[in-house]
Every structure is written in C-alpha cells, then in structure tokens.
Amino acid sequence: MLPLIRSEFRKLSTVRSPWLLLAAGPLLVVAGVTGLVQSGGNVHDPATAGKALAHVTLAALFTLIFGIFAVAGEYRHGTVTDTFLSTPARGRVVAAKLAVYGSAGAVAGLVSAAAAVAVTAAWWSAKGGSFQLSAADSWRVLAGGVAVNIAFAAIGVGVGALLRNLAVAIAAALAWIALVEGIAGQLVGTGLARWLPFSASEALGRANMTGTAGFLPQWGGGLVLAGYAIAFAATAMVTTLRHDVT
Amino acid sequence: MAEVEVRDLAKNFGRVAAVRGMSFTARAGKVTGFLGPNGSGKTTTLRIVLGLVRADAGTALIGGVPYGRLARPRHTVGAMLEATGFHPGRRARDHLRVIADAAGIPGRRVDEVLAQVDLTSAARRRVRGFSLGMHQRLGLATALLGDPRVLLLDEPANGLDPAGIAWLRGLLRSLADEGRTVIVASHVLSEVAQTADHVVIVSAGQVRFAGPLDEIGSTNNALESAFLKLTAAAG
C-alpha cells in the first residue's frame, strides 16, 4: 500500500493545477470575510465571528472539485490505463487516492482555517471589535470547517470514480449543491432535507450543538457527512473494480 | 520465460460482438505480429490480456496467470497502448517516476529507460510540448521500465522517423533474442514482414491465421496478399 500512496502523492506533486484549485479556498475565505464585514456585519455581535469563520466550509467547494480530479482527472488525461496496469487491484488504488486526497483536503482545510482566523482578527481589530479565538464556538466552527474539507475531498474522489467524466462530475456536484438540495428542500420540507449531504456539511461547519433552524446539530451533521463519504467511497470501489477501461 | 495464451476469448459490448472465440499463443523468444483490420477485436483482445477489460468467456493468461493475479505486473508485462495518455503538465521523468513508485522500481531505472529511448535531454520537459514521436518513445520507455518478460506493443512505430523505426526493429529483435515474448500489433505490414517470427491475423473477432511468418512467405507482397484475402472473407 505504501508504494501506491507514494505514487499518488507524486501524481499530485508533479502537476500544478490541483494546487491552484486548493489555493482558491483561502482566497475565497478572505474575500468572504471581507464582504461580510463590508456589508455591515456587526463585529461586536459574537455571532458574526462564527459567520466569518464558517467561510472555511464554503471554501470546501474547491476541495470537493479537487477530490473529483482524483479519478475523473485520470480518465480525462488517459493516465487511468497506466494506473490500472501498474495496480490491477483497483480497490487499492481508490483507497490510496482516498488517503492522499483526504490528507490534502485536511491541509487545505487547515490553511483555510488559518486564513479565516487571520483575516477575521485583522478586520475585527480594524473595526474596533474584539475577536476571541479562545471562545469555544470559534474552535468548533473551525474544526467543523476542516472536517467538511476532509469529507468533501473523499466525496469528490467517490463522485469522480462513479461518473468517470471530469466535466460531468464537476457540473453534477455544483448543480446538486446549487439546485437539487434547494429544490428537494421545497418538496420534502426541511425536516428531511437537512439529511442531504450539503445540508449536513452546513450543519457540521457552522451549526451549534443543538442545531439551528433547518439544520442538524453539529455532531449529527458530522456523522451524516461521514456516512455519505463512506457510502460514496464504497460505491466507487465497487464500480471501479468492474468497469471496462476501453 | 512467459508465454501469452488466449483461449476461446469472447467479449460483447452491448450488442457488438467484438471478440467471438479467439485462441492463439504468443511464444517466448519470438516476435509475434498481431494483425487485423480496424474493428477486428485486436485492441479489445490486448486489453483483456492486460486486465483492463473483463472477458465474457475464455481465458487470457501470461505465464499461466491472468494479469490481475501477477505478483509484479510491471515486471512481467510491459504494455504500450494507443490510448495510453500522459498528463500534459507533467514532466516526462515524473510520469515514469509515478509508475516506478507504484511498481517498486528504483529511480535509476527511470533514467536508464529514458536513455534507452533517447529522451534524456527531454526528461525534464512537460509532456505538452512533446511531438508524436516523443510521446511514442515515452510510451515505449514506460513499457520497458520493469524490464518485463513480455512486451505488448500497439503500433509502436507510429510517429517514429526512419532512424527510429530501424532502431525499434533492432530493439524488438534483441528483446526476443533475450527470450522475452514480444507481441506487436501493427497495420504496417512491411515492418511486420521484416520483424516478426510468427503472425496472428484476426478479423471480425476471430483468428484467421496463426503460425510462422514463413508459412505465408516473408516478402512484403506475400503478407499483404494473405492478410487482405484472409480478412476480406470474414463473416
């Protein structure tokens, strides 16, 4: 397994595009927090700090797309043939990708979290508020955000392995988040809709311990999202094993 | 020594019968030309041998073992397929190192095969700047990386200049003389006539001829006439 993990790390470290994608996360965080403050966010209201730090979860959209590249990108460039020639035990390839991309997702989440803390502290002090990182809520929101990044990286790997078409997978993931969950929410009501993956990620990334309106509590969101990540990963392994690479 | 043995292989893609009962053996120490028109099931057969496509029936064994059960696949079979791609943003040397990592092959072997295919000077360039000939040579380097006992090459001379074609012919010959099993799928019958010891001619998913090239006659015209006659009568 170790040789496979080394190979997957080298695949990532020898091209530039995945890193550009991940770098967009912290940039989005900085832009988001700035926008929040500039549009009238009240730095003296403790809840605003939570909203600022929750941008780490928003940045996880880039981590999701990053994860999609893991398998779908190999189909796009035709390198999947070499990958399966090297390792005919395809399940191990998917497992190695989950490990490597999940780790990269964690790093991306941590960098976004650091950016969130830095830009929030900067704006708060500029606007005369006091930003307390030591507040328990801050840590919870940041930890939740990092967890969402890890889960989205894994889910991305699974979605890319299932659909095997990079453009379709990215479009499907974004359409799901932008449209499907919203529409499903209208149809079945928020009671059920909050169990859907993106809603669960919102819960994990920003909700409090008992759950805000329409969202699960944070720990519930975490469990549900972990369940989705495992389900996508397992399905991806099974379909990858049987697929004819033509 | 590892022979490639295909027995009663069959594969349908939906309603298309790509391979309809194919059997042949490629022997060690020989260059076997694998010939057939487009759509003959040639590529599908190679992909089944390599474990990329799952057969509906029959067996494809390398040294008595299916590809998926080889202990060290890259050390047993070196494959160069037309559809193999490269990430355009990756350097040639890194492409090989990625494969070497997964297969447990040391870094110095990467430099050896780059030198063997004359890509040392381009090793640190990204693949997007490569000509067709350079792509082909990188694919060949990939196949040679594990110093494999079996080589399975699909149109390896594509894009090579005359010096390259002559060099490749010599390489295939020497690999076979070392006791390896060399299978070359090609449309360039004149090259096959010069290089191959045995030929397997397929069309419409079945073998039409399998045997020594001498049985057909190794002049350029003999192979071409036999090929066209055997593959035209397909049903």
- What residues contact residue A126 under an 8 Å CB cut-off, 6+ apart? none
In a domain, A117, yes or no: yes
- CB-CB under 8 Å, B50 with A246: no
With an 8 Å Cβ cutoff, is B208 touching chain A? no
- According to DSSP, the residues that pair with B199 across neighbouring strands are B33, B211
pLDDT tens-digit readout, A169-188: 999 999 998 888 878 777 87
**pLDDT the model gives residue A218:** 86
> How many Å apart are CA A216 and CA B4, to the nearest integer?
58
CA B175 vs. chain centroid, Å, equals 13
Task: Provide mean pLDDT across the span A212-239.
Answer: 88
In the three-class reduction of DSSP (H, G, I as helix; E, B as strand; rest coil), residue A208 is classed as: coil
Please report which confidence band the pLDDT of residue A48 belongs to, taking 50, 70 and 90 as the band edges: confident
Q: Does residue B35 lie in a domain region?
A: yes
Short-list B136, B200, B205, CA closest to B171? B136
Q: What is the nearest CA distance from B218 to chain A, expressed in angstroms?
A: 33
- Kindly state whether residue A104 falls inside one of the protein's structural domains: yes
What totals of helices (H) and strands (E) does chain A contain, helices first?
12, 0
- Sheet with B31-35, edge to edge strand ranges: B77-80, B150-154, B181-185, B31-35, B198-203, B206-212
**Inter-chain CB proximity B67 and A88 less than 8 Å:** yes
- Yes or no, beta carbons of A16 and B73 under 8 Å apart: no
Whether the ipTM is more than 0.85: the answer is yes
Sign of the CA dihedral running B187, B42, A90, A239: positive
Lowest mean pLDDT among A40-44, A53-57, A64-68, B151-155: A40-44
CB-based contact B97 A10, cutoff 8 Å: yes
* Range list of β-strands (E), B27-173: 31-35, 57-62, 77-80, 150-154
Length of chain B: 235
Instruction: Find the mean pLDDT for residues B33-58.
Output: 95
Average pLDDT over residues A74-88: 96
Burial of B174 by CB count in 10 Å (0-12 exposed, 13-18 middle, 19+ buried)?
exposed
pLDDT at A111: 97
B81: nearest CB among A81, A86, A242: A81
Give the pairing of strands B31-35 and B198-203: parallel
Nearest Cα of chain A lies from the Cα of B95 at a distance, in angstroms, of 8
List of residues 6+ apart from A205 with CB closer than 8 A: A54, A56, A57, A60, A141, A144, A145, A147, A148, A221
Is the residue at A192 inside a domain?
no
pLDDT band for position A31 (50/70/90)?
very high
Q: What is the mean pLDDT of residues A120-131?
A: 87
Chain A contact present for B84, CB below 8 A: yes
B72 to chain A nearest CA, in Å? 9
Separation in Å, CA of A166 to nearest CA in chain B: 14
CATH number reported for the structural domain that contains residue B193 in this entry: 3.40.50.300
Please indicate, yes or no, if residue B158 is contained in any of the structural domains. Answer: yes
Beta strands in chain B (DSSP E): 4-13, 16-26, 31-35, 57-62, 77-80, 150-154, 181-185, 198-203, 206-212
- Interface probe for B, chosen from A12, A74, A85 (most Cβ of B below 10 Å), is A85
B176 pLDDT tier (thresholds 50, 70, 90): very high
A82 touches chain B (CB under 8 A): yes
Give the whole-angstrom CA distance, residue A69 versus residue A76.
Answer: 9
- Please choose, from the candidates A139, A127, A122, the residue with its C-alpha nearest in 3D space to the C-alpha of residue A39: A127
- Is residue B12 very low, low, confident or very high in pLDDT (cuts 50, 70, 90)? very high
Which of B65, B69, B101 would best serve as a mutation to test chain A binding (most A beta carbons within 10 A)?
Answer: B101
Interface test with B, best of A13, A15, A86 (most B CBs within 10 A): A86
The pLDDT of B87-111, averaged and rounded, is 97
User: How many domains is chain A partitioned into structurally?
Assistant: 1
Of A11, A85, A246, the CB nearest to B98: A11
**Residue A56 lies in domain:** 2-175
Q: Does B167 touch chain A (CB under 8 A)?
A: no
Residue A207 has pLDDT above 90, yes or no: no
| B88 chain-A contacts, CB cut-off 8 A | 77
Task: Tell if the CB–CB gap between B99 and A245 is shorter than 8 Å.
Answer: no
Residues 6+ apart with CB under 8 A from B67: A88, B49, B50, B51, B60, B73, B77
Interface touch B73/A87, C-beta < 8 Å: yes
Number of domains in chain B: 1
A70 lies in some domain: yes
Partner A contacted by B44 (CB < 8 A): yes
Angle of helix A55-77 relative to helix A46-53, nearest 10 degrees, comes to: 10
Question: Strand locations in B133-205, DSSP E?
Answer: 150-154, 181-185, 198-203
Tell me if chain A has a CB within 8 Å of the CB of B148: no
Up-side HSE of residue A221: CA atoms within 13 Å toward CB? Answer: 32
